[in-house]
Structure 1
Amino acid sequence: MLPVLGTAMVLVAARQKALLSGHVVIQRIGDWSYSLYLWHWPLAVALVYLGLQGDTIAILCSLILTFLLGWLSFRLVEGPTRSRLKMPVTATTSVLACAAALAAAPGVGIYLQNGVPGRLSAEVEGIFAEAENRNPRMEECHAVDGRNVPGCTYGGDTLGAIVIGDSHAASVVRSVEKALPSEQLHVLDWTLNTCQTIRGLKKANDPDFPCEAFIEQALLLNADIEPHVPLIIVNRLSGLLFGQNEGPGPGIQPPSKYLSELRTARDETYRNEMKESFVQTVCEFSKTRDVFILGPIPELILDVPKTMGRAAQLGKPTRVSITTQDYLQRHQFALDTLGQAVEKCNAQVLDPTPFLCDEIACYGDENGLPLYYDDDHLNERGGNRLIPLFERVFAKPTDSHVQASVGQDP
C-alpha cells in the first residue's frame, strides 16, 4: 500500500526537475527498475536456499549483483527490444503468447511429473520426503478453515482413547492408535486447527472461528462417553501464550485470540487468563475420565526437512536442534500451567523430552532423517518415537502420572 501511495504522490506532484527524483542516478535506477525487480527474486531465493538470508555480507553482495544484472538486462534485452521490436499488435500478441508458452511448458511438465525423478540423490530425496511423511488422513480428519470437526476414528470398532487439541494433536493421533493395547480399539480424533483446548477461546475478526463451539460440544459429548476411556490433550500452548518462534518477527506478534477481551500484548494478564481457563477446561474433562496432557513438543524454529535437505544438497550435512535450556526457557510457563492441571484436576502429564532430547539438546532428526515435517510438528517418524510414552496411558496400574525430567532416558 505504501509503495503505491508513494508512486501516486510522485505522479500527482509532476515535478520533472525535482532535486532528488531528477538526479541522473535516480533516473537511471528508474529506467532499470523492472529489470532490478525481476533479478532480485532469484538472488533472494538463493540467499534463503543457502541459509544466508541473515548474512550482511551476502545480502550486500546480492544487492550489488542485482544492480549489475539489472543494468545488463536493460542494456542488452529490455532497451533493444523496445526500440527494435515494432510489429503489428496481432503479431506482437502472437510472439508474446508463444514465448510465454515456451517458458511455461517445462514448468507444467515438471509439475505433472511430480518433479524430476532422480534429480537428487537418494539420501537427499529421503530427507525431503519426510516433509510429506504425515498422517495420510490429515486433510480428511483435521478440521481447518471453519469446518466442523469430523470425529474420525483410527483402529477397530471399540472406543479406546480420545485425542483432542490443535494441529500438534493431529500430528500424533496415529501414534496413539499404535499404542492401543488391542487392535479392536480405536482412537477418536477431536482435532481442530489452531484450537487450543481452552473453553471460551475466540479469534479476533473471525466470528465464525469454531473453537469455542467445538470445545463446548466436546464437553457435552465427554459426559456421555464411557468413563474408562482416557482423554489425551495435545496443544501448542506456548505458541498461544508467547506467539510463534519461527518466521519474521518471532514472538512479538500481538495476540489474535482472546477470552474476555482482545488484548494488545501477550503480557502477564493475558497469559494468566489463558492459564486459568485451560486448567478449568482440563478439570471439566477430568470429572468423568482420566486426562493425560502431552508436554510441549520441542519447537525447532527452522523447517527441519528443508534445512537438512538443502544442506545435504550442498554436501554439508547438518542437524537442526535447540538446547534443552532453550526448550525449558520457551516452555516454562506452559509447564507451570500443566503442573497446575495436575494439582487441581488430577491430570497426568506425558513428557516427550526423553524421546526427543538428551541432556544437551532436542534434535529434529534420527539417523539423518527428519522427525518433523516442518519446524514444530512431528511427522509420522517423530510420532512413532512417542509410542512408548502413549503406551503408559493404557498401562495397568497407570504410572504415567510420574513426570519424566528433561534429558531422562526413556
Structure 2
Amino acid sequence: MSFRHDINFLRCFAVLSVLLFHFEVTAISGGFAGVDIFFVISGFLMTKIIFQGIDHGSFSLIKFYISRAKRIIPALAFLCLCLVIIGWFILLPTEYRQLGKHATSSLVFLSNIIFSAEAGYFDTASHEKLLLHTWSLSIEWQFYILYPLLILLFKKLVGAPQLRVTLLLLTLALFLYNLFVNYVGDGSQYFSLLCRSWEMLLGGVAYLYPLKASKSTRAMLAYIGITGLITSIFLVDSSYQWPGTMTLLPVLATFLVIFADHKDGRIFSLKPFNLLGNISYSVYLWHWPIAVLCVRAFGEISAIHAIFGIVISLLLGYLSFIFIEQSFKNFNNSLKLASYSLVSLVTVLVVTVSIYLVNGAPYESRFAKNIIVADQEFLNREPRKGRCLSEKATSSPRCTYGPEKSLPDLILIGDSHASTMVNAVVKSLPSDSSVLFIAQAGCPTIKGVTLNNSNAESCRSFIDNELANIQQNYPHIPILVVNRWSYYISGKLGEEAGARITLDDPNIGFQKGFNQALEQTWCSIADNSRVIFMTPTPEFPMSMPKNVARMLLDGDFEAPFVSMASYSQRNHVFIEALEQLSTSCNIETVNVTQSLCKNDRCFGTTGERPNYYDDNHLSEWGARLLVPQLTKLLN
C-alpha cells in the first residue's frame, strides 16, 4: 500500500484539533470533530485493505484482525497499566474502582457502551474519567470486527459487481438512521456504532469510487476539503446534535481530501505534519489522561497548563510510538506477536478486573476511616432509585414505600430530588404509613412549560398522566412536591445559561408566566388535597464526596458552604412564585434552609461527612437532617 501523505496530514489535523479542544483553547470550539476525521480515515484504509485482499485472492480474516490488534492493543494496554499504577497513588477508592471498570471495558472494546450507559443526569463529570476518550477506539474495533464480515456477506448475496452500490446505499441508510435517532432524541447517538458507521463507510466510498481527474482538479478539491476542516473546528460547537447534519461538514471535508488523492500537495509533505501524523494514535491515547490530571491538580486549565499538557502529551505520545507501536509493528512473526499481545492483554485485564471486582478493598486500607466515609457517600443513595425513578417515561412505576395499602397516606411527587427525600419522608410519618412515590428525573412537576431538551415530550406526557391519575384516583391524599427548580429556571450552577424550560405562552415575562403556570397546575389540585412544596436544596459547584475526601486527604479540610445570599439569589424566581402560590391556593411550604443552613451559611457537610452524594442531591445521610422538620409538619 503506497504511503498517502495527505492521510497523514489528516491524522495530524485530527489529533491537533482534539488536543487543542480538550486543553480548552477557546477558539477551537469544534475540535471534538477530530474524532470524526479519524473515523473517515479508518473507513477508507479498512476498505482498501479488505478489497485489495479480496481482489488478489489473499484476504484473510484472521490476518486482518491480527493486524488491527497489532496496531491498537499494545499501546492501549500499556496506557491502562500505567494509569492503574498512577491511580494507586492519587485516586480515591471509588475513583480507583471506576478506573478498573473503565480500563476493563476499554480493553475489551466496549467502553462506548459503558460510557453511554453512564451518561446522563447522575453521571460523573467527564474530567474525572481517565479513559473516557477510549469510546472512539471501541467503536473503531467493533467496526473492524463487523465490516469485513459484512462485505463478505454482501459479496455472496449481491455479487461483486453490486457490492460498491450496496455499500453506498448502506452509507446513506445509516446516515438517515442517525438523523432519525437525533429526531427521536433519546441521546444515544454520540457513543453509538450504528450512528457513527456512516462516517467510516463514507471513507470506504472514497476508495470504491476513485476520482478520475486532472492534477488541478485534485488540488482544488483537496484544498476545498482543508478549508472545510479548518472552518469546522471554528464554526461547530457542542450545542449541535452530534453526530448529525453539522457532522457532514468535517466528514465531507475529510472525504474530499482523501477522494482528491492530491499527491503533489506541498503542505502534505511537511515533516512536522508527517511526524505528528505518525504519532497521532499514541498522542490521542495519552492526551486525555493528561488533561484530566491537569484539572485534578490545578482545578482548571489555564494557558500555561494547556501548553504544559500539550507538550507532555506530545512527548509521551512520541515515546509510546517509538517503544510500543514501532516495536510491535516491526514484529513480523504473526504467531509470536499474537501470543505476546494476548498475554499482555490478559495480564492487564486481570489487574483491572480484579480492581473492579474487589471494590478497591485492599486499596481502601491505605486511607483513614474519615476519608473512606466521605468518599463512599457518593454511593449513599436511595436503594430503589434505579427502579422507582423514571427516566424518559410517560408514566411512573408508582412505587410504594411502607406497607401496601389501598390508598397511601402521602404522595411524594417530583424529579430526582424527590427520590433523595423519600426515606426521610417515610421516617417522618408513623410506622404504619404508606408513601406513593411518583417522579421522573429532570422533569419539573408543572404544566404550561416545555423542557428545552430531548426529554420534552415524555416529560409533558408524564406530568399530564400522573397529575390526572392523582386527581382521579387519590383525592384528599396529601401531596409533597420536591423538584430542583433552580436548575429548570437558571441552568446548572456555575453555568447559568438561562432557563431550561420555555413557557407555552411566550408573550408574557418569565416570572409572571412561571407564576401562572404553577398556579394553573396546582391550585385545582389543592382544592381537594393538602399540597406541600419543598424549597430547592442548596447546590454546590463541586461533588461533595470527592471534594471533602480530597481535602481530608490533603489535611486542609474546611467545611464547604454556600451563603444564604447566593442561595436566595439563585432561587428568587421560584421563591417569589411559591409565595404567590401559597397565598392564592393555600399551599404549604417546607423551607429546607431551616434544617440545612445556619448563621447565613448552608453547609455541604455535617462534621466531616458530606450531606450530598454529588453537587446537588442530598444523600441518605444528608436527607435525615430534614426528618425533624418534616415530622413536625406532616404529623
Bin for the TM-score computed over the shorter chain: 0.7 to 0.9
Does 2:444 align with 1:186?
no
Does 2:341 align with 1:96?
yes
Q: How many residues are paired up? A: 383
Q: In the alignment, what sits opposite 2:573? A: 333
Aligned equivalent of 2:284, options 37, 46, 70: 37
Matched residue of 2:379: which SS?
coil
Deviations 1:196-238 (A, max 9, x none): 11125555555761543444433443354352x4211111112
Q: In the alignment, what sits opposite 2:504? A: 260
Aligned equivalent of 1:106, options 325, 347, 351: 351
Matched residue of 1:130: which SS?
helix
Matched residue of 1:171: which SS?
helix
Q: In the alignment, what sits opposite 2:607? A: 367
Matched residue of 2:630: which SS?
helix
Describe how 1:126-165 pairs up with structure 2 within 5 A.
Answer: 126-146=373-393, 148-156=395-403, 159-165=408-414
Q: CA deviation at 1:301?
A: 2.2
Does 2:26 align with 1:26?
no
Q: In the alignment, what sits opposite 1:222? A: 471
Range moving further from structure 2, 310-319 or 167-176:
310-319
C-alpha separation in 2, matches of 1:104 and 1:224: 54
Range moving further from structure 2, 50-59 or 374-383:
50-59
Deviations 1:308-336 (A, max 9, x none): 22333344434433222221121111111
C-alpha separation in 2, matches of 1:40 and 1:194: 33
Among all aligned residue pairs of Structure 1 and Structure 2, give the percentage whose two residues are the same amino acid: 27
Unaligned runs of 5+ in 1: 396-410
Q: CA deviation at 1:128?
A: 1.2
C-alpha separation in 2, matches of 1:207 and 1:375: 24
Q: In the alignment, what sits opposite 1:231? A: 479
TM-score (normalizing by structure 1): 0.84
Q: CA deviation at 1:269?
A: 4.3
Q: CA deviation at 1:304?
A: 1.0
Does 2:326 align with 1:86?
no
Unaligned runs of 5+ in 2: 1-31, 38-249
Matched residue of 2:434: which SS?
strand
TM-score (normalizing by structure 2): 0.56
Q: CA deviation at 1:47?
A: 2.3
C-alpha separation in 2, matches of 1:47 and 1:238: 30
Q: Say if 1:351 and 1:22 are closer, same or farther in 2 by CA, change over 3 A.
A: same
Query: Given that residues 219 and 285 in structure 1 are in contact (C-alpha distance below 8 angstroms), is that contact kept between their aligned partners in structure 2?
Result: no
C-alpha separation in 1, matches of 2:271 and 2:459: 57
Q: In the alignment, what sits opposite 2:59? A: none
Deviations 1:330-355 (A, max 9, x none): 11111111112112111112111122
Residue identity matched to 1:66: S
Residue identity matched to 1:106: V
Matched residue of 1:86: which SS?
coil
C-alpha separation in 1, matches of 2:259 and 2:402: 67
Query: Given that residues 392 and 455 in structure 2 are in contact (C-alpha distance below 8 angstroms), is that contact kept between their aligned partners in structure 1?
Result: no
Deviations 1:278-322 (A, max 9, x none): 222121221112211111111112111122223333444344332
Q: Say if 1:333 and 1:210 are closer, same or farther in 2 by CA, change over 3 A.
A: closer
C-alpha separation in 2, matches of 1:9 and 1:315: 56
Higher helix share: 2
Residue identity matched to 2:612: Y
Q: Say if 1:315 and 1:66 are closer, same or farther in 2 by CA, change over 3 A.
A: farther
Q: In the alignment, what sits opposite 1:401? A: none
Q: Say if 1:270 and 1:21 are closer, same or farther in 2 by CA, change over 3 A.
A: farther
C-alpha separation in 1, matches of 2:551 and 2:472: 51
Residue identity matched to 2:413: I
Q: In the alignment, what sits opposite 1:406? A: none
Range moving further from structure 2, 188-197 or 209-218:
209-218
C-alpha separation in 1, matches of 2:509 and 2:346: 57
Describe how 1:296-311 pairs up with structure 2 within 5 A.
Answer: 296-311=536-551
Q: In the alignment, what sits opposite 1:381? A: 621
Matched residue of 2:338: which SS?
helix
Deviations 1:156-189 (A, max 9, x none): 4563322111111111111111111x21212221
Q: CA deviation at 1:368?
A: 0.7
Q: Say if 1:11 and 1:311 are closer, same or farther in 2 by CA, change over 3 A.
A: farther
C-alpha separation in 1, matches of 2:281 and 2:634: 63
Q: Say if 1:19 and 1:330 are closer, same or farther in 2 by CA, change over 3 A.
A: farther
Does 2:33 align with 1:2?
yes
Residue identity matched to 1:103: V
Q: In the alignment, what sits opposite 2:595? A: 355
Q: Say if 1:17 and 1:360 are closer, same or farther in 2 by CA, change over 3 A.
A: farther
Query: Given that residues 50 and 310 in structure 1 are in contact (C-alpha distance below 8 angstroms), is that contact kept between their aligned partners in structure 2?
Result: no
Residue identity matched to 2:474: I
Query: Given that residues 409 and 433 in structure 2 are in contact (C-alpha distance below 8 angstroms), is that contact kept between their aligned partners in structure 1?
Result: yes
Matched residue of 1:163: which SS?
strand
Does 2:523 align with 1:277?
no
C-alpha separation in 2, matches of 1:135 and 1:353: 22
Query: Given that residues 245 and 251 in structure 1 are in contact (C-alpha distance below 8 angstroms), is that contact kept between their aligned partners in structure 2?
Result: yes
Matched residue of 2:361: which SS?
coil
